[in-house]
């Protein structure tokens, strides 16, 4: 535990998150000091062993405070952070802002380095992604929207899972009740979307391919009946767990125009797969991927997680080799995020897995392997509690970029989200993003599906019908 006595009188969140990035395994408490918020103020760090260290920070504004605090923390720990002072989840936005203000690539990179102490690689990554996103988004119609549908069921719960996902057992009654409720919500929302252009549909979860082929077929029929998809540019279904993928399901998806799927290994190391509770093997991944190719899917994403418990850089390299042998069109590389409430947190606390100092090296190698394989970075986001304060990055071959991934991360277009736990987003001209969330728990959602439809009407009506 580290207690920080904060004499700045403000910036509690910034002080907490930046310190946490340097001391990821420590609990950090920021306590109010007696200062009045002058331009220069003191922070007293009281460490777990009782030692105290007083540092002074400039606080003319938030960025200046973070810069001076960052330099002091570098001195104290002997570490630097790849993303410098940035602790927020969307560094690409900051790069995009610089480009939109007229800076060229080199100037935007310089500015990211100077303003946030981001290292060379990350500054280039953020700016290049911002440039690519701009190009991809320019192909979308103005005022179009996206549709997200959540299927919150999985075969088992992964160790690191932080979603509300329900295990599908033999009793499929819950799935059937859920789908009926989802159809009620779709019907309630359909009139609202009548005159809208839908660019992308994304069916996520959970694992949508836990649905039986007949259930998938009915879901697609209902979507087609409720919404006009004639201008659709991308139709994604997450088939994340390879053990849920069958030829029959792939054929149903193909028949209804699904253009992009995800088959997610996370790792190709058998011991880790067992440890994280995925219930599938590495050969299952290969088999699901090959079947999807044989059924004509030419845009397949694979998700990987770096820093899984017990994995070394060598293990990660083995996974890259096995996955890249399959020649996926998209590769999404995540850094493990250890959520406080996850089973993984408990396991780490009990077994004392070492902190994953190697994750940064794994990420560097992943970026290099993707480059060599003709996969370009096109979206990036960060989460709280990510190992090494790193990032999640989506890579894709030219022409295979996942549009929805950019839209959801950068909040640049309206998203109508259906199903339990789904969050709709309305984005106004000035960039303001307003949200409306559905009930997360299955029983609450099922009992209130029609009302979830009305919530969306409330969110979008004043934008779409005035
Ligand atoms: S597949 Fe995804 S949603 Fe399902 S349990 Fe694993 S992490 Fe959670």
Cα–Cα distance, 228 to 199 (Å, whole number): 10
Across-strand partners of 302? 331
> Looking at ligand 1, which atom is closest to the CA of residue 264?
1
Beta carbons within 10 angstroms of residue 306's beta carbon = 30
Q: What pLDDT score does 36 carry?
A: 64
Beta carbons within 10 angstroms of residue 290's beta carbon = 12
Instruction: Tell the residue nearest (CA) to atom 3 of ligand 1.
Output: 206
Reduced 3-state DSSP string for the chain: CEEEEECCCCCHHHHHHHHHHHCCCCCEEEEECCCCCCCEEEEEEECCCCCEEEEEEECCCHHHHHHHHHHHHHHHHCCCCCCCCCCCCCHHHHHHHHHHCCCCHHHHHHHHHHHHCCCHHHHHHHHHHHHHHHHHHCCCCCCCEEEEEEECEECCCCCCCCCCCEECCCCCHHHHHHHHHHHHHHHHHHHHHCCCCEEEEEEEECCHHHCCHHHHHHHHHHHHHHCCCCCCCEEEEECCCHHHCCHHHHHHHHHCCCCEEECCCECCCHHHHHHCCCCCCHHHHHHHHHHHHHCCCCCEEEEEEECCCCCCHHHHHHHHHHHHHCCCCEEEEEECECCCCCHHHHHHHHHCCCCCCCHHHHHHHHHHHHHHCCCEEEEEECCCCEHHHCCEEEEECCCCCCHHHHHHHHCCCEEEEECCCCEEEEECCCCCEEEEECCCCHHHHHHCHHHHHHHHHHHHHHHHCC
> Looking at ligand 1, which atom is closest to the CA of residue 240?
1
Q: What pLDDT score does 37 carry?
A: 59
Q: Does residue 300 carry a pLDDT above 90?
A: yes
- Is the CB–ligand 1 distance for residue 207 below 6 Å? yes
Q: Does residue 30 carry a pLDDT above 80?
A: yes
Ligand 1 geometric centre to CA of 213 (Å): 20
Q: Does residue 75 carry a pLDDT above 90?
A: yes
Instruction: Tell the residue nearest (CA) to atom 7 of ligand 1.
Output: 161
Average pLDDT, the chain: 92
- Is the CB–ligand 1 distance for residue 154 below 6 Å? yes
Q: What pLDDT score does 167 carry?
A: 85
Least confident range from 169-178, 182-191, 236-245: namely: 169-178
Q: For 77-98, how does the pLDDT look when each residue is reduced to its tens digit (9 = 90+)?
A: 999 999 999 988 889 999 999 9
Higher pLDDT, 342 or 180: 180
Instruction: Tell the residue nearest (CA) to atom 2 of ligand 1.
Output: 206
Higher pLDDT, 384 or 440: 440
- Is the CB–ligand 1 distance for residue 266 below 6 Å? no
Q: What pLDDT score does 353 carry?
A: 67
Among 179, 160, 157, CA closest to 168:
157
Ligand 1 geometric centre to CA of 434 (Å): 27
Cα of 168 vs its chain's centroid, Å: 24
Cα of 359 vs its chain's centroid, Å: 17
Over residues 347-373, the mean pLDDT reads 83
Ligand 1 site-directed mutation target among 153, 165, 244, 392, most atoms within 8 Å of CB: 165
The pLDDT-based confidence of 356 (bands split at 50, 70, 90) is: low
pTM: 0.91
The pLDDT-based confidence of 32 (bands split at 50, 70, 90) is: confident
- Is the CB–ligand 1 distance for residue 157 below 6 Å? yes
- Is the CB–ligand 1 distance for residue 206 below 6 Å? yes
Instruction: Tell the residue nearest (CA) to atom 8 of ligand 1.
Output: 161
- Is the CB–ligand 1 distance for residue 240 below 6 Å? yes
Ligand 1 geometric centre to CA of 249 (Å): 19
- Is the CB–ligand 1 distance for residue 339 below 6 Å? no
> Looking at ligand 1, which atom is closest to the CA of residue 165?
3
The pLDDT-based confidence of 215 (bands split at 50, 70, 90) is: very high
Contact between 289 and 297 (Cβ < 8 Å): no
Q: What pLDDT score does 320 carry?
A: 97
Ligand 1 geometric centre to CA of 48 (Å): 35
Q: For 393-436, how does the pLDDT look when each residue is reduced to its tens digit (9 = 90+)?
A: 999 999 999 999 999 998 889 999 999 999 999 999 898 999 99
Cα–Cα distance, 356 to 18 (Å, whole number): 18
Contact between 198 and 228 (Cβ < 8 Å): yes
Q: For 307-320, how does the pLDDT look when each residue is reduced to its tens digit (9 = 90+)?
A: 998 899 999 999 99
Over residues 26-46, the mean pLDDT reads 79
Q: Does residue 341 carry a pLDDT above 90?
A: no
Q: For 113-168, how does the pLDDT look when each residue is reduced to its tens digit (9 = 90+)?
A: 999 999 999 999 999 999 999 999 998 988 899 999 999 999 988 988 877 778 88
Across-strand partners of 53? 45
- Is the CB–ligand 1 distance for residue 73 below 6 Å? no
Cα–Cα distance, 86 to 66 (Å, whole number): 9
Q: Does residue 211 carry a pLDDT above 70?
A: yes
- Is the CB–ligand 1 distance for residue 122 below 6 Å? no
Ligand 1 geometric centre to CA of 389 (Å): 22
Least confident range from 157-171, 279-293, 357-371, 432-446: namely: 157-171
Q: Does residue 338 carry a pLDDT above 90?
A: no
Both tokens assigned to 314:
């060598």
Ligand 1 geometric centre to CA of 153 (Å): 8
Residues of the chain with pLDDT > 90: what percent? 69
Contact between 156 and 279 (Cβ < 8 Å): yes
Ligand 1 geometric centre to CA of 338 (Å): 14
The pLDDT-based confidence of 27 (bands split at 50, 70, 90) is: confident
């Amino acid at each position: 535990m580290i207690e920080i006595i904060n004499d700045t009188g403000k910036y509690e969140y910034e002080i907490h998150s930046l310190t946490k990035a340097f001391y990821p395994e420590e609990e950090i408490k920021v306590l109010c000091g007696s200062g009045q918020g002058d331009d220069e103020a003191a922070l007293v760090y009281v460490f777990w062993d009782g030692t105290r260290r007083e540092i002074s920070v400039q606080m003319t504004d938030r960025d200046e405070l973070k810069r001076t605090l960052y330099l002091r923390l570098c001195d104290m720990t002997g570490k630097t952070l790849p993303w410098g002072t940035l602790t927020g989840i969307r560094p690409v936005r900051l790069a995009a802002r610089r480009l939109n203000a007229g800076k060229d690539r080199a100037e935007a990179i310089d500015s990211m380095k100077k303003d946030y102490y981001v290292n060379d690689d990350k500054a280039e990554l953020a700016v290049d992604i911002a440039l690519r996103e701009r190009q991809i988004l320019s192909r979308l119609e103005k005022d179009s929207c996206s549709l997200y549908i959540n299927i919150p069921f999985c075969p088992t719960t992964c160790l690191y899972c932080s979603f509300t996902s329900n295990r599908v057992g033999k009793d499929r009654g819950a799935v059937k009740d859920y789908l009926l409720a989802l159809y009620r919500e779709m019907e309630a929302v359909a009139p609202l979307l009548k005159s809208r252009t839908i660019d992308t549909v994304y069916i996520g979860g959970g694992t949508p391919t836990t649905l039986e082929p007949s259930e998938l077929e009915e879901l697609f029929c209902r979507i087609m009946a409720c919404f006009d998809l004639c201008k659709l540019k991308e139709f994604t279904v997450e088939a994340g767990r390879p053990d849920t993928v069958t030829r029959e399901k792939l054929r149903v998806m193909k028949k209804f125009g699904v253009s992009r799927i995800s088959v997610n290994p996370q790792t190709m190391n058998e011991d880790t797969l067992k440890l994280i509770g995925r219930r599938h093997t590495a050969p299952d991944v290969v088999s699901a991927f090959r079947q999807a190719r044989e059924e004509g899917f030419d845009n397949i994403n694979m998700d990987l997680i770096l820093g899984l418990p017990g994995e070394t850089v060598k293990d990660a390299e083995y996974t890259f080799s096995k996955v890249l042998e399959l020649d996926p069109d998209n590769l999404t590389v995540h850094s493990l995020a250890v959520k406080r409430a996850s089973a993984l947190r408990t396991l780490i606390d009990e077994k004392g897995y070492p902190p994953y100092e190697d994750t940064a090296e794994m990420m560097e190698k992943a970026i290099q392997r993707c480059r060599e394989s003709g996969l370009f970075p096109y979206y990036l986001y960060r989460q709280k509690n990510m190992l090494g304060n790193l990032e999640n990055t989506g890579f894709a071959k030219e022409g295979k970029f996942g549009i929805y991934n950019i839209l959801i991360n950068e909040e640049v277009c309206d998203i109508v989200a259906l199903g339990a736990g789904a969050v709709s987003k309305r984005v106004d001209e000035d960039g303001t993003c307003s949200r409306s969330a559905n009930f997360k728990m299955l029983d609450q959602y099922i009992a209130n599906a029609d009302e979830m439809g009305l919530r969306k009407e409330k969110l979008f009506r004043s934008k779409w019908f005035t």
